[in-house]
């Protein structure tokens, strides 16, 4: 495959993803990258996310919730999808690639890889007593909630 032409937009998207520990959606990436590059379009974001994922420079996560998320960390690791807030967190755990050998033992063909996602409740939701923090996903370190985040109102006691 021929090398791609350099793109400042692609660089901006990748740089943004490298600052994140969460796994933002294309819309969150668009809102944030647009702050530095006001003329960038959502279509440009989608096209460049696709190219970066195809080239293996980022990971595209399809967790079955209908929304792709993106990860700047392409090292082998696993993810947990919080069933309360919808957040996606990296799991620090030993490699489970031995599952490929087990799958291959029960398959008449070649098993090339696997994708494993875990589901449960993240630490933030567990600590909040199971409070649904809808939209509380996509938070980088040290930044505020995305503009479309609606947190439950605190009850006055």
Q: Which of 22, 40, 138, 4 is nearest to 13 (CA)?
A: 40
Mean pLDDT, range 52-66, rounded to an integer: 92
Decide: helix, strand or coil at residue 49: helix
Q: Which of 4, 12, 2, 31 is nearest to 145 (CA)?
A: 31
pLDDT tens-place string over residues 134-145: 444 444 333 333
| pLDDT reported for residue 1 | 55
SS (H, E, C) 67-93: CEEEECCCCCCEEEEECCCCCEEEECC
pLDDT tens-place string over residues 26-53: 999 999 999 999 999 999 999 999 999 9
- φ/ψ of residue 73, rounded to 5: -90, 105
Structure pTM? 0.73
Decide: helix, strand or coil at residue 62: strand
Q: Quick check: 31 and 20 in contact, CB under 8 A?
A: no
- φ/ψ of residue 60, rounded to 5: -100, 125
- Confidence grade of residue 130 (pLDDT, cut at 50, 70, 90): low
| pLDDT reported for residue 32 | 96
- Confidence grade of residue 64 (pLDDT, cut at 50, 70, 90): confident
- φ/ψ of residue 85, rounded to 5: -105, -10
pLDDT tens-place string over residues 72-128: 999 989 999 999 988 899 998 888 888 888 999 999 999 888 888 899 999 999 998
CA 139 – CA 151 distance, rounded (Å): 13
| pLDDT reported for residue 98 | 87
SS (H, E, C) 9-44: HHHHHHHHHHCCCCCCEHHHHHHHHHHHCCCCCHHH
């Amino acid at each position: 495959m021929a090398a791609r032409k350099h793109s400042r937009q692609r660089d901006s998207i990748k740089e943004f993803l490298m600052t994140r520990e969460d796994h933002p959606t294309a819309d969150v990436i668009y809102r944030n990258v647009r702050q530095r590059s006001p003329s960038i379009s959502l279509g440009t974001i989608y096209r460049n996310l696709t190219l970066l994922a195809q080239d293996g420079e980022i990971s595209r996560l399809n967790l079955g919730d209908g929304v792709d998320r993106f990860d700047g960390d392409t090292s082998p690791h696993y993810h947990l999808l919080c069933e309360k807030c919808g957040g996606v967190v990296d799991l620090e755990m030993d490699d489970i690639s031995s599952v490929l050998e087990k799958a291959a033992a029960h398959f008449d063909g070649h098993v090339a890889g696997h994708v494993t996602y875990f589901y449960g409740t993240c630490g933030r939701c567990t600590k909040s007593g199971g409070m649904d923090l809808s939209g509380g996903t996509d938070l980088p370190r040290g930044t505020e909630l995305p503009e479309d985040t609606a947190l439950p109102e605190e009850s006055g006691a």
